[in-house]
Chains A and B, each alone.
Chain A
């Protein structure tokens, strides 16, 4: 099955700026996830999104983060006021159709906060 695509592949921003990371599913899925991976560290769960609502979020996903599916297709992660420590790879994932314990990850967006 095809994975998701993510844009941009690399985003450079100044501290305090807002960034929007986009995830485009190949087909219509209900469950989406965002994970992040700081360089050299583990992949960390951020948030799960089901049927246009947040289903679960981690303690990392604080008020500066938000997710939405504005046009019913793209799935976005917004970071309102970026901090240096937000520099990381951000991965979008979707569930395999009919198998909620199998996830397909996108190629990621590398976010660099200066």
Chain B
């Protein structure tokens, strides 16, 4: 079973780029890496997903090295509204997909 490890918390200032790194040493060959964002009292919200190299969408970039044992979520020019918990997930293939959430990284953006 793939397990992910992330920093528990990070602080940043508005306008800065934030990089959150996640390690997943036991990732399986067919597993994708998915990042979610969660605000208090809301459901997790899909941010980005990738398999290898780099993926970019309108909100973030995801960098995955060749060995795929880690990944880095990059949030460009964060704002106060980006304060949330960010989860790195690797899908568990056992019949159906189920997400095994870790504690995530609590990002606090300061003015």
Interface residue ranges, A against B (CB under 8 Å): 3, 31, 33, 35, 42-45, 48, 50, 55-56, 58, 89, 91, 93, 95-96, 100-108, 110
Supposing A33-B98, A42-B103, A48-B96 touch, asked if A108 and B42 sit within 8 A by C-beta, the answer is yes
Q: Are B97 and A103 interface neighbours, CB within 8 A?
A: yes
Supposing A44-B101, A102-B34 touch, asked if A50 and B43 sit within 8 A by C-beta, the answer is no
Partner of B95, one of A3, A43, A44, A56: A56
Cβ distance B19 to chain A, nearest Cβ, rounded Å:
23
Quick check: which of B7-15, B44-52, B64-72 contacts chain A, the rest being far away? B44-52
Q: Closest B-chain residue to A92, C-beta based? A: B43
- Tell me what chain B mostly uses at the interface: helix, strand, loop, or mixed: loop
Q: What CA separation (Å) do A106 and B43 show in the bound complex?
A: 6
B43 contacts which chain A residues (CB < 8 A)?
3, 91, 93, 105-108
Interface size class of B (residues with CB under 8 A): 20 to 34
Q: B100 at interface (Cβ–Cβ under 8 A)? A: yes
Cβ distance B33 to chain A, nearest Cβ, rounded Å:
9
A33 contacts which chain B residues (CB < 8 A)?
98-99
Q: Closest B-chain residue to A45, C-beta based? A: B98
Cβ distance A75 to chain B, nearest Cβ, rounded Å:
14
Chain B 15-34, CB-CB to A under 8 Å as 1, else 0, gives 00000000000000001101
Supposing A43-B101, A102-B49, A103-B46 touch, asked if A31 and B41 sit within 8 A by C-beta, the answer is no
Q: Are A55 and B96 interface neighbours, CB within 8 A?
A: yes
Q: What CA separation (Å) do A93 and B41 show in the bound complex?
A: 15
